[in-house]
Structures are given as structure tokens and as C-alpha cells.
Amino acid sequence: MKIASWNINGIAAHRRELIKFLSDTKPDVMCIQETRGQIVLATPGYHDFWFSASEPNYSGTLVLSRREPLSVNLGIGIKKYDREGRAITLEYRDFYVVNVYVPNYQAQSPPERRKFRLNWDAAFRTYVSKLPKPVVVCGDFNVTHTEKDIYPSEARSSTVPPDMITEERKNFERLLDVGLKDVFRAFYPEKRDAFTWWAHKNQNRIHNKGSRLDYFLVSNELLTFVKSIKHYTDTQGSDHCPLSIMINVTVQRTDLSDQDLADQWEATDWVLVKKKVHEMQTAIAQAAYNLDWELVSQLQDKLTASWNARALAVYEITNKKSAPGVDGVVWQTSEEKANAVRSLVSYAYTPLPYLHMDILEANGKHRNINVAAARDRAMIALYALSLSPVAETTADKKSFSARGGRTKQDLHAYLFEALDGPQAPKVVVIADVRAFYESAAHRWMIDHIPMNKTMLRKFLKAGVVRNGELFNIDEGMSMGISISPLLANMMLDGLQTYLYDHLYPGQEQKQSYANGELFRWADDILVTADTWEQAEKILELIADFLADRGLGLNQEKTKIRRISK
């Protein structure tokens, strides 16, 4: 399906250009902004849906669709905004298309217009977040997403106050945070001079001195189905150019019976599924190795949207014994598992709170864990699949817990080798992190863990039910979810580099690799030292490293020891 969008800057004035664009490009859906009224538009083969402003010759939107939609909604349900005719929503089987013309604000506008714009942003964000299907949102957003989206001289000469630009961009980011992706930036993360609007002055369009104000935003799970995006910069008429995407959504049939679903699940070739997921993970690992974080993010989105990864997440959690969460749901039958795969979509996803459980272990000690509901465990497992190749690629060389193919026996072997012989270090620092899982700082994880920030924030802050009462979670993470060991490792990874950088500042060649060599199993840390004084310095460095992450040392278990003792 081809979906096009164009701020036409007055449909009566540019009717001929629109008809030519439709004839040349043949979009299946054409979203038009700033119609400034309604005219007779001869467009055979299209259903037309107009939403004009109550004020003449002002604002207005129009959608042309070859296919009759399931439903059409004019506006966002708030009268003071809808009188300007700024949004039309068409429902199709697999997703909604939302055509939007966001209110503009200029320095010469009255102060209440600025407030109108900012309040509109919040209301529109709420409207989009409540749509029950994935969405394609397109139109003129009257904001430049980043500094790459505006010609430098235009940024300097803009009549819009700098703080307003900041507020508009913040609101645009908040809109993306409901689970949307900027399609152009997903395809071209670093591209500059790709503008969609040029002011009518100084031959700006000829010299390509403009801004990117027009966008396609899609739900995260739809991004993998978008094949291309195009700006039609040679199309004249308006001060904006048209743009379009090609999207090919291939969804599972919704008319399958329970038996069909059971047969589908039972016929799945899990060896092939695991192979395909592994191929996607390998690509993520390669991008992480090259420090190409834009590509990492794109490939992670592709993985989490894929049927294979979603199916594998359900397969993994249903093949492990776990108590049910707050909803009491356990997926047991094949049709339940097949339906669960369909439910793993990030758009408008809200996790249930964890269920607190006090586990009495065989040694008589109590262990507190938070148990996620079934769907949430599967979502967490899905995003763990996208994070694990990054965690492995960026890990400290001699960390061994929760890493495939590494065991405690490997750790012991490395330790024996490091501490043996006449040149071996004389002292070791044994450090234990105090209440690691209870204390880890959410702020640090959200800022530094390379994964979908919105989903990570939801996993961390879902809340927990204890004895029937709901509590917020402001720090720490649950030991009972699959992503926690990855997050724990990534919080402590980098400690080896940190130690060497501070023990040997500015030196490419370390004086002694044995002094400051780190070995780690989960949050149990051992670091070698040449002298007692160096060991004390290493201990201070470890404490500083942990403090930035909201962590501290367990003083009872942390010590310095001579190897001879």
C-alpha cells in the first residue's frame, strides 16, 4: 500500500498539481493538509473524506482512499481543536491512518496561540495513544525533529523563539514515546538537507534552504513492514513537497479457529525459528561492535516486530516453570500460545504490576522476587532477545554470569592462571555489591542501556502488588524476569576499562595488566593488585563507579586480602 501526504497550501489554488500528482504516483491513500476549504474534486476511484475548519479559508484536512475504510473519525474529540479541522482518522483492517495538520505558532502570534499549540500536542498524543490498533500518522507537524532537519541559516534567522522550538521538539519526542517511529530517520538516521518545506523568499527552494516539517510516524511493530519513504521535492505548487511510504503489512489471519491456531503452533519448526532469530541477533551484534547505535536500534525494532522472535519469546517462557502473575494467567494449550504471539505488540502496551512473592529456599533463607504476568513475561523475553547480542558484544572480557557458553568453572580456571607463578599479583580486592537488584538506579539504566527506552521504562516501573496493595517501583529490578541478568551485567560492564583508565591515565600501554585485572560473577567482583596501596585505590575506584549507578559496596563482604594468606 502506498500512502502519500502533502500540505497543499490551499487546494483551490493547487488543484491541478494535486490531480497530476495522483495520476503520476497513484497512491492508495492520499492525506492532504491545509485545504483552506472544500471544492469539487474530480478524483475517480477515490473515496473522499473532508474536514474543513469553521473559519473560511483556513486550515482543513482531506483524505482520499481507494479502499473504503472500516470507519472514519473527524477530529480528536475536543471541540475547541476540532473546529479547525486538523485531523482525520481512517480505520483499515490492520491499522489506522491518521492525517494531521498540527497548529503553527509564530513569534508574532498572540500568547494564547502558543498555549493552544502546546495543549493541542498533549491532546493529540492522548488521542493517538488510545487507538486500539497500530497507526500510521502523517502530515504537517510544524516542528523540526532535530537540528539535522533545518538548514543552518534558517535556524539562525527563524522568527520562532528558541524556547518554543525546544518545547515543540519535546512534545514531538513525547509523541514518539507512545510507541511511534519517525520513518525517515529510521531509514536515513544521519541524512541532512532532506527538507519538505521552503519559505517563499530568496529562492530558498532552488538552493534547498528549508526545514523538514512533514513526517510519517508508524507504530513500532509496523516499521518492519515499511519498504521505502520518498520526498517528491520536484513537485511544485505548495511551499511543501509531498512524501509517501510503501507499506506491506502481512498479518496473520484473524478468522482462524482455535483448532487452526493449535495446528499452526504445533507445526512450527522451532529449529528454523531459532535460526532466523539468531541471524537477526548476529546483525545486531555486528552493528554494536561497529558502534553504529542508530543501526542497532533499527535492527532491534525489526527483531521485536518479527513473528519469529515473538513466537520464540512465548516458546521460551512457556517451557519454563513459573508461578502466575497478578492476573493468574498461565498459557498451557497450543491455541493459547498461538494467540499470545499475536498479543506481543508494543503500541499502547501497558504492563500489569508484578506480584511480590517470598520464596523459602532449601537452605532456609528467604528470597524475594517479583513475578510478571504471562503477557508481560513474554514481552520482557522478546526485548531480552533484542538486547542480549548488545550485552554480549559490549561485555567485559572476564565477566562470566548470565553469558552463553561461560560457567563458574571457566572463571575458576582464569583465576588460577592469573594468581599462579612468581610474577602473580600479591593482593586481591574482593568486592560485593550491596542489595544490587533492589538498588540499581532506573535513571542510569534508561539513559545508558541501548534498547527501546519506552519499553524499558515500562518494565522497570510497572509497580508491584504486595499483600493486595499496589506499590510504585522507583529503583531496582526484579530477579524474576529474564532481562534482569542482562541489565545487571550491562550496569557493571565497563568497570575494567574504568579501572585501567584511572590506574594508568593517558597511557596506551599499561604498566601491569595484572594490577587492576577484573574477574566478575554477577555482582561478585575480584580485582588483582600489585600492592596493598594499589588495592585500596582500586577499592575507591570501584565505589565511585558503583555510586554513579545508584549502587554501593557491602562493607561486611568487601575486603582486601593478600594471596599468601
- Whether 125 and 136 have beta carbons less than 8 Å apart is answered as no
Euclidean distance between the first and the last CA atom of the chain, given in angstroms as a whole number: 73
CA–CA distances in Å: residue 18 to residues 12, 42, 194, 449: 10, 11, 22, 46
List the catalytic residues: 101, 140
The DSSP symbol for 340 reads H
Q: pLDDT per residue over 411-429, tens digit each?
A: 999 999 999 888 889 999 9
pLDDT at 389 exceeding the cut of 50? yes
Q: Which is nearest to 64 in space by CA: 5, 112, 127? A: 5
- Whether 143 and 102 have beta carbons less than 8 Å apart is answered as yes
- Whether 32 and 99 have beta carbons less than 8 Å apart is answered as yes
The predicted pLDDT at position 309 comes to: 95
Q: Model confidence at 329, in pLDDT bands (50, 70, 90)?
A: confident
Burial 364-375 (b: 16+ CB within 10 A, else e): eeeeebbbbbbb
Percent residues over pLDDT 90 in the chain: 67
C-alpha cell belonging to residue 405: 557458553
Question: For every residue of 516-548, which 3-state class applies, written as one string?
Answer: CCEEEECCEEEEEECCHHHHHHHHHHHHHHHHC
The predicted pLDDT at position 554 comes to: 94
C-alpha cell belonging to residue 418: 592469573
DSSP H or E stretch at residue 64 = strand 61-65
The predicted pLDDT at position 162 comes to: 45
Domains and CATH numbers, the chain: 2-247 (3.60.10.10), 253-394+450-475 (no CATH), 398-440+476-564 (3.30.70.270)
Q: Which amino acid is at 175?
A: L
Strand order in the sheet with 366-371: 366-371, 354-360, 464-466, 469-471
Percent residues over pLDDT 70 in the chain: 95
- Whether 400 and 408 have beta carbons less than 8 Å apart is answered as yes
Q: Count CB neighbours of 185 within 10 A.
A: 21
Q: Rounded to an integer, what distance in angstroms lies between the CA atom of residue 495 and that of residue 545?
A: 7
Q: pLDDT per residue over 430-481, tens digit each?
A: 999 999 888 999 999 999 999 999 999 999 999 898 887 888 999 988 877 8
Which value, in Å, is the radius of gyration of the alpha carbons in the chain?
28
Q: pLDDT per residue over 152-195, tens digit each?
A: 855 544 545 444 467 889 999 999 999 899 999 888 878 889 99
